[in-house]
Chain A
Amino acid sequence: MTMKVLVPVKRVVDYNIKPRVAADGRGVETQGVKMSMNPFDEIALEEAIRLREKGHASSVVVVSIGPQAAQDTLRTAMAMGADQAILVRTDAALEPLAVANLLKVIVERENPGLVSMGKQAIDDDMNATGQILAAKLGWPQATFASQVKIHDGKAEVSREVDGGIEVVNVSLPAVITADLRLNEPRYASLPNIMKARKKPLETLDAESLGVDLTPRLKVVNVSEPPERQAGVIVETVDELVHKLKTEAKVL
């Protein structure tokens, strides 16, 4: 089987960093903040690499859409095991719709049999790009995957749904989005990081791909969430239960 797997990866503020809202309310500070690969994308990449290792795929191509520095994320991806990388360079903060439109162009160019991507990025938490891309391509989708099995040109995917697991069978090519429990991604080991320096990384200009990148959303303001206020101290258990029933209405 010669299927190529395409894995889009996003460079985001590292999940260990407590995000700080910029004083001017324009967004969250990213200047001088540690950036890493979006954790869900790491899982999607791990799954793609495993599919190649099991012989279901011939190669893994990673693509990142972002500033020049996103090439660090691509190098990490190649150190984990991706074979080649594409950087779609832009300094604009793009919305999932524009990202999906750019990815569609990359898919048409690379012709993968599967797009494996994270279910959401931990910065905008939108959880939409995979679904939009699948719609744009007219491909089936299997979101929130916790297990993927490939056979006979199909993917049997276990999906995390409310209160359980749903299994769907989708024909390839398809878009699969990874949930947290799909796998535990491997380390980028030092020897592999060294080797990844020599793997091919192609840079394209986002503006040159003929995609309308105009944002549909205007950020009016970004603020800190209101802090919880201290409530009341009650004296007895009965009083507590009474208040939970009548006042808070949670019992």
Chain B
Amino acid sequence: MTALVLIETEQGTVRQASRSAISAASRFGDVDVILFGDNAENAAKLANVRKVLHVTNLPHLLAEPAAALLATLAENYTHIVSAVSANSKNILPRLAGLLDVQPLTDVIEIKNDDTFVRPIYAGNALATVQSSDRIKVLTVRGSSFDPVAAEGGNAPVETLGAPGGYDKSHFVKVEFSHSDRPELEVARVIISGGKGVKDAGNFQKLLEPIADKLNAAIGASRAAVDAGFAPNEMQVGQTGKVVAPELYIAVGLSGALQHLAGIKDSRVIVAINIDPDAPIFKVADYGIVGDLFDILPALEKAL
């Protein structure tokens, strides 16, 4: 069995999530990777890679030609895999349509070659499903699999050309948001404040310096938003934004169920609260019981 992994780069280096996808795909057998755009040399250095397929004439990764190209390669593989990203979510289901197979998206666990676990109902349930398709097309969640090493490999690079002449879809432009602070949905680190932060000024004074150091997004509990400490769009929780960062720091928020429902997929949760009985400690990986007005300045210094 052989898998083909669609990988993506970010500022020249292969994204960590793509490296996780390679490690996930290694369970199926040999792994070839396909890269659209530059920096094939970095892909060649990845561990666990048999061959790099390098497509040079599709820089903007439009779904239609990309899926068409992948469809021509697909018969050589049992599994076609990518980490969950805007591009893979766009391309892989289209590829599945071309191959007449049912794709599997957002996979978080691989049971065996044909059986996978994926969250449904916004993570409120986990479905284990077995695919009978001859080629399995799947996107996997990067955070669920340990990445392969970025260095150490030496795979041959084969250059491919995508079929030209597709004129029904054109790239116009891309604009990345230039906010200094990442958005809650995509931030790697989030620091959120609750009622315990006491007022809007403290959000700025205490949370912002830490967010700056960690390149974190700032969130708030519903109680803090209701109290006017933070604007609506900062609300994290079931009724606000559902987030899944690598690190979630909950400050002075007790952990109402709606809030916990919105953060439960975070990889690591840190709770800072003066009340040792606050429900947030029941889900936190690390907790400090104490006054946030002492702890936050100390944390900022220690970072």
Residues of chain A at the chain B interface (Cβ within 8 Å): 13, 18-19, 21, 28, 95-97, 100, 122-136, 139-144, 156, 159-171, 174, 215-225, 227-238, 240-241, 243-244, 248, 250-251
| B interface residues, Cβ below 8 angstroms from A | 60, 62-64, 67, 85-87, 89-98, 100-106, 115, 118-133, 167-177, 182, 186, 189, 214, 246-247, 261, 264, 267-270, 276, 281-289, 295, 298-299, 302-303
Residues of A with C-beta under 8 A to B182: 163
Say whether, besides A28-B120, A240-B288, A164 and B247 are in contact (CB < 8 Å). Answer: no
Q: Are A216 and B102 in contact (CB under 8 A)?
A: yes
In the complex, the number of residue pairs spanning A and B with C-beta atoms less than 8 Å apart equals 239
Query: In the complex, A239 Cα to B214 Cα: how many Å?
Result: 18
Q: Is the CB of B299 within 8 A of A140?
A: no
Known interface pairs A144-B90, A164-B176; A241-B129 also in contact (CB < 8 Å):
no
Chain B interface mostly: mixed
Q: Report the separation of the CA atoms of residues A14 and B267 in the bound assembly, to the nearest whole angstrom.
A: 28
- Asked if A122 meets B286 with Cβ closer than 8 Å, knowing A220-B115, A228-B269, the reply is no
Secondary structure of the A contact surface, majority rule: mixed
Q: Report the separation of the CA atoms of residues A198 and B181 in the bound assembly, to the nearest whole angstrom.
A: 51
Q: Does A28 lie within 8 Å of B168, measured CB to CB?
A: no
- The answer to whether A128 and B103 touch (CB under 8 A), given A243-B286, A248-B286, is yes
B-side contacts of A243, CB under 8 Å: 286
Q: A225, B119: Cβ atoms under 8 Å?
A: yes
Contact B96 A141 (CB under 8 A): no
Interface centre among B86, B130, B303 (most CB of A within 10 A): B86
- Give 30 pairs: A residue, B residue, CB < 8 Å, sorted on A: A13-B121, A18-B261, A19-B125, A96-B102, A127-B105, A128-B105, A130-B93, A131-B92, A132-B93, A134-B97, A143-B89, A160-B86, A163-B176, A164-B176, A166-B171, A167-B173, A216-B101, A218-B130, A219-B128, A219-B129, A220-B129, A222-B120, A223-B125, A225-B125, A227-B283, A233-B286, A233-B289, A237-B299, A241-B299, A248-B268
Tell me if A217 and B120 are in contact (CB < 8 A). no
CB–CB B130/A220 < 8 A: yes
Bound together, the chains give a CA A177 to CA B265 distance in angstroms of: 26
Complex contact B131–A125 (CB within 8 A): no
